[in-house]
């Protein structure tokens, strides 16, 4: 299934992030009373925002591997995981300050997802790793016809 989107991962990421951003905006507008509060909108915006964002994560790791191609996938994903964990530590460290509140989390969610959209849009899609994989796949899948001759062995009795 993922092979259908092999060269369109950037577009899929952009669509997923835009949908996630829209859900987080709806959620925040509802919390600041700009939109009427409904339980359906609360559930839809929360579940939608988190789902769309988390659907983009593996595609982002895959795009990171493509962009860092001569480097191993483990090294590229290790750096991405390290940066993700540093961001998470900073996010959680804010709670150690007194009287911070929690409304800032909604704005950070909107801002981080929305800011990443133009940054990913600027990335030039190079698929060197995919091209190498496809070349190897074509070589290993070449069809070889083996023709056996019918040999009849007659037992003389």
Q: Residue 149 falls within a domain, yes or no?
A: no
**Mean pLDDT confidence for 50-75:** 90
Question: Per mean pLDDT, which range of 81-90, 114-123, 148-157 is the poorest?
Answer: 148-157
Full residue range of the structural domain in which residue 81 is found: 2-124
Total number of domains constituting the chain? 1
Q: Residue 152 falls within a domain, yes or no?
A: no
State the Cα–Cα distance between residues 151 and 143, nearest whole angstrom.
24
Count CB atoms within 10 A of the CB of residue 96.
7
pLDDT band at 6 (very low <50, low <70, confident <90, very high): low
Q: What is the pLDDT of residue 151?
A: 55
Q: Residue 131 falls within a domain, yes or no?
A: no
Q: What is the pLDDT of residue 71?
A: 84
Cβ(66)–Cβ(120) below 8 Å: no
Q: Residue 134 falls within a domain, yes or no?
A: no
Residue 87, pLDDT above cutoff 90: yes
Q: Residue 154 falls within a domain, yes or no?
A: no
Residue 154, pLDDT above cutoff 60: no
State the Cα–Cα distance between residues 97 and 42, nearest whole angstrom.
28
Q: Residue 153 falls within a domain, yes or no?
A: no
Q: Residue 29 falls within a domain, yes or no?
A: yes
Count CB atoms within 10 A of the CB of residue 27.
21
Cβ(21)–Cβ(112) below 8 Å: no
pLDDT tens-digit map of 51-61: 999 999 999 99
Q: What is the pLDDT of residue 39?
A: 94
Residue 126, pLDDT above cutoff 80: no
Count CB atoms within 10 A of the CB of residue 9.
20
The mean pLDDT of the chain is 85
Cβ(110)–Cβ(25) below 8 Å: yes
Cβ(19)–Cβ(13) below 8 Å: no
pLDDT tens-digit map of 89-115: 999 999 888 888 888 999 999 999 999
Residue 25, pLDDT above cutoff 80: yes
């Amino acid at each position: 299934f993922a092979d259908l989107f092999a060269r369109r991962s950037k577009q899929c990421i952009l669509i997923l992030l835009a949908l996630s951003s829209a859900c987080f905006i709806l959620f925040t507008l509802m919390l600041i009373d700009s939109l009427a509060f409904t339980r359906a909108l609360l559930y839809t915006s929360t579940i939608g925002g988190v789902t769309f964002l988390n659907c983009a994560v593996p595609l982002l790791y895959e795009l990171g591997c493509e962009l860092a191609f001569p480097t191993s996938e483990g090294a590229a994903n290790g750096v991405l995981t390290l940066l993700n964990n540093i961001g998470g530590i900073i996010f959680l460290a804010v709670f150690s300050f007194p009287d911070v509140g929690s409304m800032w989390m909604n704005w950070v969610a909107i801002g981080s997802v929305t800011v990443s959209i133009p940054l990913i849009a600027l990335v030039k899609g190079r698929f060197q790793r995919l091209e190498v994989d496809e070349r190897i796949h074509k070589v290993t899948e070449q069809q070889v016809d083996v023709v056996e001759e019918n040999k009849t062995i007659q037992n003389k009795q």
